[in-house]
Amino acid sequence: MKKRIGFIAVLFITSLFAVSNIYSQTSDKAPKKTPEERAKNRSEKMTKHLSLTDEQKQKVYDIWYSHCTQADALRNSTTDKETRKSEMKKLFESTDTQLQSVLTSDQLTKYNEMKEKMKEKRKGKHKKNKNDLDQ
């Protein structure tokens, strides 16, 4: 009887470890997209909202592709967090300037509105996450 209880206990503990190992390997995050995929998504979004010409589409894609590859290189670099943050900010500013040079004045107005909406959306997301942490 004691052997049977011992065996069941060992079996139960082993199964708990197996289940926890399976859950620790699965992630809720989607797999990271490649620079090509991210550039395509961003340029398609801009094309949809700003009615870009074919020539503008290609330029916008090229700008975003360059941005995404440089951003990945920065994320994978061994520099400290503050330096990475500063370099990323410079990269965003450079990308923004390049994008603005491709757009017409009407498109630029819409683009700036898009950026403001995204900024507000991010603020709301950060505020929600902060509230979740406070509780």
pLDDT digits (tens, 9 = 90+) for 99-110: 999 999 999 999
Using the CB atoms, write b or e for 33-51: b if 16+ within 10 Å. Answer: eebeebbbebbeebbeebe
Q: Is-contact 98 65, C-beta < 8 A?
A: no
The predicted structure's pLDDT at residue 21: 57
Residue 17 CB-density burial (10 A; 0-12 exposed, 13-18 middle, 19+ buried): exposed
Within-domain flag for 74: yes
Within-domain flag for 90: yes
d(CA 69, CA 116): 24
Note down the domain range covering 106: 32-126
Could you say which residues of the chain have pLDDT below 70?
1-2, 6-7, 9-12, 14-30, 126-135
Q: What are phi and psi of 40, to 5 degrees?
A: -65, -45
Within-domain flag for 16: no
Within-domain flag for 25: no
Within-domain flag for 17: no
Within-domain flag for 134: no
The predicted structure's pLDDT at residue 18: 61
Count of domains in the chain? Answer: 1
The predicted structure's pLDDT at residue 79: 82
- Closest by alpha carbon to 47, among 65, 60, 31? 60
Within-domain flag for 44: yes
Within-domain flag for 38: yes
The predicted structure's pLDDT at residue 90: 95
Ordered alpha helix ranges (H), the chain: 2-25, 35-50, 54-75, 81-102, 105-134
The predicted structure's pLDDT at residue 109: 95
The predicted structure's pLDDT at residue 24: 55
The predicted structure's pLDDT at residue 131: 54
